[in-house]
């Protein structure tokens, strides 16, 4: 049976390799989940569990806004969509763990490489995740916008997974080292998977055909016009027929605005 969060209508279509999260209202339960996970999301589980002041909740909030406030509106929306993806994917899919920190390891710019790298402990495999976020366009409905974002995510991953660019995988390896520093066994497995891929890329044999991917649409629009399951299933079926990746999972998020999340996090600094 699916886990529940107050204020979220969750369509669990994981047997058909998709799920839909419609955030109908920004509940205290969701706020507490963000609060609980924020440091782990931003720095990785090893640093978050270190009890150092640098990685405390309050300091993480301050560092988040140092990165957030200087960005354009489009980038801010993207950051909020990615944050929600971290929170909701890791809540609903407990067998997955994040092996890539949200914060860039070297500076306060947007992280280069993949939005999120997830590791499946039971299957010993990684899932490369791409998030596309935005608001409703004029003359477009929620289903059309979600399809647009999912197609963009697919196109981006097709491009990057098929290009012989070692820096993408080097960034993923460095992120995994940071995120899993205190979990030697898991870190070794994840590093070996990523290093094997990097070796293939070094030999100019990059391919998307043996990669698992999660395509995420994070749409900020009124849940009165909800994303419908049949559109997500249709997209998933069309994608599956093209054999672009090894396995694909579709994850749709819909929330009215990103402002309430921003306001909540700012108020948390003051509390």
Per-residue pLDDT, 106: 54
Helical segments of 119-210, H only: 142-161, 166-179, 184-202
Q: Give the residue with greater pLDDT, 108 vs 264.
A: 264
Q: Are 118 and 127 in contact (CB under 8 A)?
A: yes
Q: Cβ neighbours of residue 127 under 8 Å, at least 6 residues apart?
A: 96, 117, 118, 119, 120, 212, 213, 214, 249
Q: Are 42 and 60 in contact (CB under 8 A)?
A: yes
Per-residue pLDDT, 182: 76
Q: Are 26 and 260 in contact (CB under 8 A)?
A: yes
Each residue's pLDDT tens digit, 140-176: 999 999 999 999 999 999 999 999 999 999 999 988 8
Q: Where are the domains of the chain?
A: 8-270
Q: In what order do the strands lie in the sheet with 212-220?
A: 8-13, 18-23, 247-255, 212-220, 125-135, 116-120, 96-98
Per-residue pLDDT, 111: 60
> 127 - beta bridge partners?
118, 212
Residue 253 has pLDDT above 80, yes or no: yes
Q: Cβ neighbours of residue 46 under 8 Å, at least 6 residues apart?
A: 178, 179, 180, 181, 182, 183
Query: What's the chain's average pLDDT?
Result: 92
- Gap between the Cα atoms of 104 and 217, Å rounded: 22
Q: Are 191 and 184 in contact (CB under 8 A)?
A: no
The closest alpha carbon to 175, from 130, 119, 247, belongs to 119
Q: Which of 1-15, 78-92, 247-261 shows the lowest mean pLDDT across its residues?
A: 1-15
What three-state secondary structure class fits 62?
A: helix
């Amino acid at each position: 049976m699916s886990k529940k969060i107050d204020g979220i209508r969750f369509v669990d279509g994981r047997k058909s390799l998709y799920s839909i999260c419609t955030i109908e209202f920004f509940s205290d339960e969701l706020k507490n989940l963000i609060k609980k996970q924020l440091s782990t999301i931003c720095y990785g589980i090893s640093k978050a569990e270190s009890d150092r002041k640098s990685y405390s909740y309050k300091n993480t909030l301050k560092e988040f806004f140092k990165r957030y406030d200087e960005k354009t509106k489009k980038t801010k929306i993207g950051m909020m969509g990615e944050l929600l993806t971290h929170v909701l994917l890791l809540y609903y899919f407990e067998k997955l763990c994040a092996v890539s920190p949200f914060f860039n390891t070297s500076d306060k710019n947007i992280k280069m490489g993949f939005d999120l790298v997830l590791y499946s402990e039971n299957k010993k495999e990684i899932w490369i995740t791409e998030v596309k976020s935005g608001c409703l366009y004029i003359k477009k409905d929620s289903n059309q916008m979600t399809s647009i974002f999912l197609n963009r995510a697919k196109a981006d991953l097709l491009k990057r997974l098929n290009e012989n660019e070692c820096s993408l995988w080097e960034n993923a390896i460095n992120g995994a080292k940071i995120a899993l520093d205190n979990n030697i066994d898991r870190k070794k497995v994840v590093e070996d998977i990523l290093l094997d891929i990097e070796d293939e890329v070094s030999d100019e044999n990059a391919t998307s055909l043996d990669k698992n991917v999660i395509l995420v649409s994070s749409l900020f629009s009124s849940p009165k016009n909800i994303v419908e399951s049949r559109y997500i299933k249709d997209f998933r079926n069309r994608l599956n027929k093209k054999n672009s990746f090894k396995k694909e999972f579709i994850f749709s998020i819909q929330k009215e605005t990103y402002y309430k999340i921003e306001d909540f996090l700012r108020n948390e600094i003051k509390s």
